[in-house]
Amino acid sequence: MSSFWCETLLIDGVALVDVRLEVDTAGRIARVRSGVAAEATDIRLGMVVPGLGNAHSHVFHRALRGQTHGEGGDFWSWRERMYRVAAQLDPSKYQDLATAVFAEMLVSGYTAVGEFHYVHHRSDGAPYETEHAMELALASAARSVGIRLVLLDTVYLQGGIGLDLAAEQRAFGDGSAAAWLTRWRSLRSALDGDGLVTLGAALHSVRAVTPDAIREVLDGLPPEIPLHIHLSEQPQENADCLAAYGVTPTGLLYSLGALEPRLSVVHATHLSDDDRTLLGDAGVTVVMCPTTEADLGDGIGPALALATVGSPIALGSDQNAVIDPFLEMRGLEMGERLASQKRGRFAPAELLHAASTAGYAALGLGRHRLQVGDPCDLVEVSTVGVRTIGSAPAQLPLTATAADVLRVIVGGRLAATDGQLVSGERAAALMADALARLGK
């Protein structure tokens, strides 16, 4: 049993003072009391927010940070550079890079991450000698850092609607939905029993998975498994889907019975009114990635409109050109302000909910509201730094950055403090080594 005393704790956007959290041996909250004095054995914290959930990440994209931003072009030209990085990966290099990225996430305030993982095999498509080598590399990286990982193992079967996988995509494919399901079930057994690392699933997109394959995956996955998919990030995807199937990507998913609360759609930038209604009526979570959508010139997604019709909004770091949960919160709100020319579209409490509670729910990690039975995942934020001094506690999502994160607790255990892991390792040093192995 461990215990934490928080000078101020934001729960559901409300600032409670003098809060004591008792934690059981499983790392879950056993008791919550507010308005009480600290006890001698408590770990004392200042301003605390719930642990933040990164609902969409591609760790290997981090290798492109600072390499592609000044080139012009669009998403499709950026993608060609991304393929070149993927071709350099092997299990050892992947683990080193993931360790560095997960470390940066943790010290920035992310306590959980959903890794949308599709680099399964060698660059020519051949399997590694060690079964699940790439997936186990990610799991080992997360365990070494101490961050929760939901491995969203991804189906990727074609290079575009009606197209075979291109040479640079062969590492992603399993040949068929049946083969992917067989590998997924085996991977689930290999990861079973680890509370820090769990297995989810993803369909890359309607471009990369045929309707028949989507249906087969839906039928083959257990109903409790969280399922994610990229959706309508680019207008070209909509045009291709309409040409091939006569419906939008959202309409296609609806026709296949895929729209349900366990589904999370990523980006959802270019939607029709009917698309938004279908997603909201089904309670599908929409994962917005504001820093990536801005960097790649995707556009501003209709987050507020989606939330209004019933879709929970979660947040992700996607390409990891920026790893800062506070900037994702800020980006969500500022995109709405720019589009509407009005302020205060999302309340600060709603932004924090998207970054924490909704992210955990999208990853299948259950309730995360700092109540009894919830995981004790916490982030201590400085309120005396140049960015946050004078800020009302509830408005920290609009003033703080990752640089203001002091201590991070995962499962009732201190995982990071003052920008470094409890082991003493720093994310920058880990990243320098990982990039050197990739020739960066």
Catalytic residues, by residue number, are 267, 318
Cβ contact 51:368 at 8 Å: yes
- What letter represents residue 192's amino acid? D
The string of DSSP codes covering 61-89 is: GGGGTTTSTTS---HHHHHHHHHHHHHH-
Contact status, residue 320 vs residue 61, Cβ threshold 8 Å: yes
Label residues 36-63 b or e (16+ Cβ within 10 Å = b). eebeeebbebebbbbbbbbbbbbbbbbb
What contacts 24+ positions apart, CB below 8 Å, involve 253-256? 253/206, 253/214, 253/229, 254/278, 254/282, 255/211, 256/211, 256/214, 256/215, 256/218
Q: Is the dihedral of CA 69, 71, 76, 79 positive or negative?
A: negative
What is residue 106's three-state secondary structure?
A: helix
Mind giving me the DSSP string for 374-395? SB--EEEE-SSSTTTTT--GGG
